[in-house]
Structure 1
């Protein structure tokens, strides 16, 4: 038996809808239904009447619901009490890898100017959107720090999860000055603006289709037809793609904050002067609105809110992730 089965069941009981509960739990409806069935098999009793719309609990389901709720609360309480002393009192973050390098250190310093100093810990970036969100929805972390874009929706219940817009960045197309192409090299600066671009498949360093940047870029590329590209490497980690881009392996869309120095010293060049090839990104901090929080977690949230409301975005230097007052 898995704790997520109990959380799935409680969510289903609250929504009376398999589709809505699956959306809140950030899984497909088929996967959600399968997990509910696994719980019923483990218990040896049907919990949901599937013959009714909306879904209703069976008598066994109604009896089991308060037990499931108590078990969830007890599980997280016990887990917190058993954490090693070195980890107790740390504010836990799930975060996209790039933000831990470019944004988080400066932002944390500013936040802690207005509250007492506290320790923090990061859970490794799991790559996919759903996997990273699951760390928050499953209670593994206190906060989720992420990029956001209007065309990449996060399927989170607004009544249960709230967010602050705390900064901004841009995703821009870059490459080494000389791009390896067809056993030769070509100048990469402005290459996306060349009429020849439509005639050949350009070497491309991509993120795949499950990561946040992969989904966002898929939306962008659909607006630029034709844009022919040949994927030579995929990774969900921007820092790794940057290192390959520096070798001339391909064009890559990278956060401007991550490549500031490389653009400044000429190690990377921008592949287009057309702003439609860039993606404006918001940096968001998410948290659960329902889970019991420590005083440090609440203090960080309130300090973050105050910082977002009082700091006006400075005119960003090239490549700098900035704070936001939105």
Structure 2
């Protein structure tokens, strides 16, 4: 998915006209339509009802309008954060980060801010990835640093001698639900066989999806869920949970604001929760001076904190 697709879609949602939106985006209408179709193909849903005039968003389109605005806001914020540092001089000075999708919105911005403040400014290039993709990039040498979740039952199979890592923190993933008029969860585990709970799920192969499946299998109490929605993005899943569509598992940091605002609540006891390590990996074959210096600094800080 490309940033310009999100910008195109939001312009179309505002103007409700393909021709006017294309003009405002300074491209031909045919090119504009192809980009909207590319976004729909990437998401796997229709966002615009083309059978009526003026153009009208589908139910999925109205839902995605909010998500797209949030994604763009975070992308612009990340660009603003990183653009204040010195321009790229050489590839040796650039730190290539591959960051798990959820962490790129939650943990990474504050962590990088701390690095800039305590270690020194970095020229960072960040790619949001799923965990297997990030591992592959690290092994192939297309990234310098991998920031990812880890669970001992779903291990990242890397030789620690070649790919050392640091544990930066722990994140809890657990089920959440929107609230009813009395402030109670709309959906509460375990549910019943007669009325299974609508399950907001991660796409097959997503790391967090594997964590949720593992958690469900390990729970002592059987759950009754009806798979009703699928996405590989925790932000999209959160939007569905907040809107009251069903129950979904989310990392605590992802839903912290909504929890504090009373929009959601935990929807099940600890047997349906899992703790994930937040790990930072590098490869010992990477000889960039900036990577060696940053890694030595982080190792020294961890040793200092442990004493």
CA offset at residue 270 of structure 1?
1.1
Report if the CA contact (8 A) 2:104-2:128 is conserved.
no
2:198 match: secondary structure: strand
Query: Which residue of structure 2 lines up, in the alignment, with residue 206 of structure 1?
Result: 201
Change (3 A) 1:281 1:242: same
Query: Which residue of structure 2 lines up, in the alignment, with residue 79 of structure 1?
Result: none
Q: Residue deviations 1:186-236, cap 9 Å, x none?
A: 95267116xx53543211111133121111111111123521211111122
Q: Please show how residues 69-148 of structure 1 align to structure 2 within 5 Å.
A: 88=91, 89-125=93-129, 127=130, 129-148=131-150
Q: Is 2:146 the partner of 1:152? A: no
Report if the CA contact (8 A) 2:150-2:279 is conserved.
yes
251, 262, 266: which is aligned to 2:258? 262
CA offset at residue 103 of structure 1?
1.0
Query: In the aligned structure 2, how far is the partner of 1:197 from the partner of 1:269?
Result: 20
Q: Is 2:263 the partner of 1:280? A: no
Query: Which residue of structure 2 lines up, in the alignment, with residue 234 of structure 1?
Result: 230
Change (3 A) 1:232 1:90: same
Query: In the aligned structure 1, how far is the partner of 2:232 from the partner of 2:302?
Result: 28
Query: Which residue of structure 2 lines up, in the alignment, with residue 191 of structure 1?
Result: 188
Q: What TM-score comes out, normalization by structure 1 length?
A: 0.61
Q: Residue deviations 1:33-56, cap 9 Å, x none?
A: xxxxxxxxxxxxxxxxxxxxxxxx
Query: Which residue of structure 2 lines up, in the alignment, with residue 42 of structure 1?
Result: none
Q: Residue deviations 1:143-201, cap 9 Å, x none?
A: 1101111111112122311110011111021111149xxxxxx95267116xx535432
Query: In the aligned structure 1, how far is the partner of 2:303 from the partner of 2:187?
Result: 38
CA offset at residue 113 of structure 1?
3.6
Query: In the aligned structure 1, how far is the partner of 2:244 from the partner of 2:117?
Result: 42
Query: Which residue of structure 2 lines up, in the alignment, with residue 175 of structure 1?
Result: 177
Change (3 A) 1:250 1:160: same
Change (3 A) 1:305 1:198: farther
Report if the CA contact (8 A) 2:206-2:232 is conserved.
yes
Q: What TM-score comes out, normalization by structure 2 length?
A: 0.65
Number of aligned positions between the proteins = 218
CA offset at residue 271 of structure 1?
0.4
Query: In the aligned structure 2, how far is the partner of 1:199 from the partner of 1:86?
Result: 63
Higher helix share: 2
Q: Is 2:304 the partner of 1:300? A: no
207, 221, 224: which is aligned to 2:216? 221
Query: In the aligned structure 2, how far is the partner of 1:113 from the partner of 1:299?
Result: 15
Q: Residue deviations 1:104-162, cap 9 Å, x none?
A: 1222222334422111111132x3x4222111111110011011111111121223111
Change (3 A) 1:139 1:292: same
Q: Residue deviations 1:252-294, cap 9 Å, x none?
A: 110101111101111111102x2111111110001112x2321
Query: In the aligned structure 2, how far is the partner of 1:85 from the partner of 1:286?
Result: 23
Change (3 A) 1:164 1:218: same
2:160 match: secondary structure: coil
1:161 match: secondary structure: coil
1:153 match: secondary structure: coil
Query: In the aligned structure 2, how far is the partner of 1:91 from the partner of 1:208?
Result: 30
Query: In the aligned structure 1, how far is the partner of 2:246 from the partner of 2:166?
Result: 35
